[in-house]
């Protein structure tokens, strides 16, 4: 049986080399595994040119684990965090802050509107009690790309701290710590690096991490304790995701051999163009205009035809070898298609053909919204 292609924002389709790396067992305290961890952390920091002032702290679990760990460790209990909200993952940050007991100031935006640096600037000027800004770079709920360089410049100008959720952008959309100041950049193994899910990581400014003692209310999620133990012993505090890390090492090796960020962005951009042009030819409309669309995941309006049902649509497309993603919007009926993973434009064109065949079989003739 052939595995279906995952047209999702992670987990995603991985290469044979990455899968093969998980066929070996590792001792969690063994020196070879410690060196594997160290090499991955060095490369993760290097991808964003952050080796001068930042350190990488890996963490067991999904990307959201790492987001919560970063907020819980690097944001003091009496701090105040500004969140420009234009999607579901921004809302998740606000929810995490509520669980952590940190005060949040929400700056609402429409889901088709990028976070506005001018509004962030005004909010910071109006409220000197705001200490941090938490910013999602690519909002995976819609695929919108927020203007991180401009936002980072505003935050730096106000001498506040910036925490970036770069889950869906890290290693594919340019981020350079030499010109973009941040206290934390958060991503995960199963996204644009094309590893498997199970490990998040935080690229933290070492000075900010060192002054975070006492902030975390959780032992397992305390990044400072994790980093200090790793620095002292070379080991993870608790059972590490050994096979996930080995797969990530293989994925990073392929990433570097294939040309790094520039090559990854070029392939994803080509994937996105093939997907969007093909779906538009079928009559689908994208939720976002092209100028705001990141080449990571694309949100499409669902067909208004009464014969369309997403569950049935999903099942039939899956039978043809492709797994799609449901919509993340509450007010608009949509579905999403990912452009990332170890796939090329030809695969996206095949997926469009599968969608066309499925619509025909379902008797869906009205695809576009009026």
Residues 282 and 191 placed together within one structural domain of the fold: no
Residues 252 and 264 placed together within one structural domain of the fold: no
Q: Say yes or no to pLDDT of 202 above 80.
A: yes
Residues 189 and 241 placed together within one structural domain of the fold: yes
Q: What is the mean pLDDT of the chain?
A: 96
Query: Are the CB atoms for 106 and 251 separated by under 8 Å?
Result: no
Q: What is the pLDDT of residue 212?
A: 98
Within a domain: 5:
no
Within a domain: 8:
no
Q: What is the pLDDT of residue 94?
A: 98
Q: Tens digit of pLDDT for each residue in 263-283? A: 999 999 999 999 999 999 999
Q: What percent of the chain has pLDDT over 90?
A: 96
What's the CA gap between 164 and 178, in Å, rounded?
15
Q: Tens digit of pLDDT for each residue in 99-150? A: 999 999 999 999 999 999 999 999 999 999 999 999 999 999 899 999 999 9
Q: What is the pLDDT of residue 150?
A: 98
Average pLDDT over residues 55-59: 98
Residues 279 and 172 placed together within one structural domain of the fold: no
Q: What percent of the chain has pLDDT over 70?
A: 99
Beta-carbon contacts of 247 under 8 Å, excluding residues fewer than 6 positions away, are 14, 18, 19, 21, 22, 189, 195, 196
Residues 287 and 249 placed together within one structural domain of the fold: no
Within a domain: 9:
no
The least confident of 126-130, 138-142, 178-182, 358-362 is 138-142
Question: Phi and psi dihedrals of 141, rounded to 5?
Answer: -65, -30
Of 224, 257, 290, the one marking the end of a domain is: 257
Q: What is the pLDDT of residue 266?
A: 98
Query: Are the CB atoms for 147 and 128 separated by under 8 Å?
Result: no
Q: What is the pLDDT of residue 93?
A: 98
Residues 241 and 271 placed together within one structural domain of the fold: no
Q: What is the pLDDT of residue 327?
A: 85
Sign of the CA dihedral running 163, 176, 17, 3: positive
Residues 285 and 181 placed together within one structural domain of the fold: no
Total number of domains in the chain: 2
Average pLDDT over residues 344-364: 98
332 — pLDDT class (breaks 50, 70, 90): confident
330 — pLDDT class (breaks 50, 70, 90): low
């Amino acid at each position: 049986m052939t595995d279906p292609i995952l047209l999702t924002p992670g987990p995603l389709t991985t290469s044979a080399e990455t899968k093969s790396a998980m066929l070996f067992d590792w001792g969690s305290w063994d020196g070879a595994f410690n060196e594997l961890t160290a090499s991955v952390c060095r490369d993760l920091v290097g991808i964003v040119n952050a080796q001068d002032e930042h350190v990488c702290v890996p963490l067991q679990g999904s990307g959201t684990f790492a987001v919560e760990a970063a907020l819980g460790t690097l944001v003091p209990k009496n701090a105040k965090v500004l969140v420009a909200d234009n999607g579901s993952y921004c809302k998740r940050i606000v929810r995490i802050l509520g669980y952590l007991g940190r005060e949040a100031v929400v700056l609402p935006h429409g889901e088709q509107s990028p976070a506005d640096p001018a509004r962030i600037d005004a909010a910071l000027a109006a409220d000197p009690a705001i200490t941090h800004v938490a910013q999602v770079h690519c909002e995976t709920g819609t695929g919108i790309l927020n203007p991180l360089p401009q936002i980072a410049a505003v935050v730096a100008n106000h001498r506040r701290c910036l925490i970036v959720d770069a889950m869906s952008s890290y290693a594919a959309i340019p981020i350079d710590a030499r010109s973009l100041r941040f206290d934390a950049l958060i991503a995960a193994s199963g996204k644009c690096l094309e590893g498997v899910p199970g490990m998040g990581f935080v690229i933290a400014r070492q000075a900010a991490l060192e002054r975070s003692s006492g902030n975390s209310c959780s032992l397992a999620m305390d990044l400072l304790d994790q980093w200090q133990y790793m620095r002292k012993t070379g080991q993870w505090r608790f059972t590490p995701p050994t096979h996930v890390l080995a797969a990530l090492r293989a994925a990073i090796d392929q990433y570097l051999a294939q040309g790094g960020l520039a090559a990854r962005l070029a392939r994803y951009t080509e994937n996105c163009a093939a997907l969007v042009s093909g779906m538009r030819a079928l009559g689908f409309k994208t939720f976002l205009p092209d100028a705001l669309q990141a080449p990571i995941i694309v949100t499409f309006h669902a067909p208004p035809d009464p014969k369309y049902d997403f569950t049935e649509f999903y099942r039939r497309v899956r039978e043809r070898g492709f797994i799609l993603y449901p919509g993340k919007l509450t007010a608009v009926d949509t579905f999403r298609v990912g452009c990332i993973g170890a796939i090329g434009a030809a695969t996206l064109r095949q997926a469009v053909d599968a969608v066309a065949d499925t619509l025909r079989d379902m008797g869906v003739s009205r695809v576009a919204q009026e």
